[in-house]
Structure 1
Amino acid sequence: MQVIKALEQVLADSYALYFKTQNYHWNIEGAEFRSLHLLFEGQYEDLAESLDELAERIRTLDAKVPTLSNLIKLASISEPNPNASANEMLKSLVKDQDIIIDTLYKGLKIAQAEGDEGTADMIIGRIKVHEKNRWMLKSSLCHPAT
């Protein structure tokens, strides 16, 4: 089933984005510290919950959840730069939201093609969250990325 491969990709990218967002939460500095610290916290907390939901969906489909080393190999999201400026962090996370949104849309097409409405519904929910997160991050930029 291709939907399992798609879910594994979403899980890998979600794990990478979770770690990156949490790393930026810890390492943010500057005038916008408080607001960005809280913004990043809200986003990584949501990602933490989504990891369990994604992994359990994979198990529901009678597949095993990949190991951490396999997830790292699959991930499309780059590692964080802990020395990045606040604006660089935001730009990086906007780009990463674009990546995960694209991954989710690909997974949605596969789930729909396979008639897996449960997975499709879960993916649609994640798309909405990531589109909103992208908007919030982009709106926080000093000079919004296009």
Structure 2
Amino acid sequence: MAKARKLDSSKVAPMSSKGLPIDIGISEKDRATVAAELSKMLADSYTLYLTTHNFHWNVTGPLFNTLHLMFMTQYTEEWEALDSIAERIRALGHYAPGTYAEYARLSSIAEPDAVPDAETMIQILVKGNEAVAKTARAALKKADTVNDQPTVDLLTQRLDVHEKNAWMLRSLLQ
């Protein structure tokens, strides 16, 4: 059996130079910068997805049905967005991170150590959505400075989703 190859993702590596070079009007250096920011976005998004799915499975209490359904809506949307983020990294000529180790290193979101009560779940998810929004905003600034409109568009859409999710979750705490 072949031994699995461990990827060193200490920096975003460009894809092999075999074949046609990428010529989309954004320099390799700028594409690498944006891909690195999108990799952080992917890591934060995956961590939030996993946390939200975990809470969907494990929520209890009087708000069970409301939270169970809300968490499912949010993690399903997040799951679908992961592919768009990873594909944008690939379109920029770089490999997308795809391991728990890479996500742990790149993410700004800490995973919970245990299953919290429902109110704490909501608080954690508010903070998680806000963290993803901050990561998206930082990546958007980099993409905008290099005139990368597809990435700006993607990140604008992600900002809208995460700011709305944070608002909806925060409303449950009032």
Q: What residue is the counterpart of 1:135 in the other structure?
A: 167
- More helix as a share of residues: 1
Q: What residue is the counterpart of 1:88 in the other structure?
A: 120
Secondary structure of 1:134's counterpart equals helix
Q: Under a length normalisation based on structure 1, what TM-score does the superposition of the two structures give?
A: 0.94
Give 1:56 deviation, angstroms: 0.5
CA RMSD in angstroms, aligned pairs only: 1.0
The structure whose Rg is larger is 2
Q: What amino acid is the match of 2:138?
A: K
Q: What amino acid is the match of 2:111?
A: E
CA contact (8 A) 2:55 2:115 kept: no
Q: What amino acid is the match of 1:66?
A: P
Match status 1:8 vs 2:22 = no
Q: Deviations over 1:78-128 (max 9, x none)?
A: 113443111100011111111111101001100000110110011000000
Aligned length, in residue pairs:
142
Identity of aligned residues (%): 42
* Unmatched segments (≥5 aa) in structure 1: none
Q: What residue is the counterpart of 2:139 in the other structure?
A: 107
2:110 paired residue among 64, 67, 78:
78
Q: Under a length normalisation based on structure 2, what TM-score does the superposition of the two structures give?
A: 0.79
Rounded to whole Å, the distance in 1 between the matches of 2:139 and 2:93 is 18
Rounded to whole Å, the distance in 2 between the matches of 1:55 and 1:98 is 20
Rounded to whole Å, the distance in 2 between the matches of 1:4 and 1:87 is 35
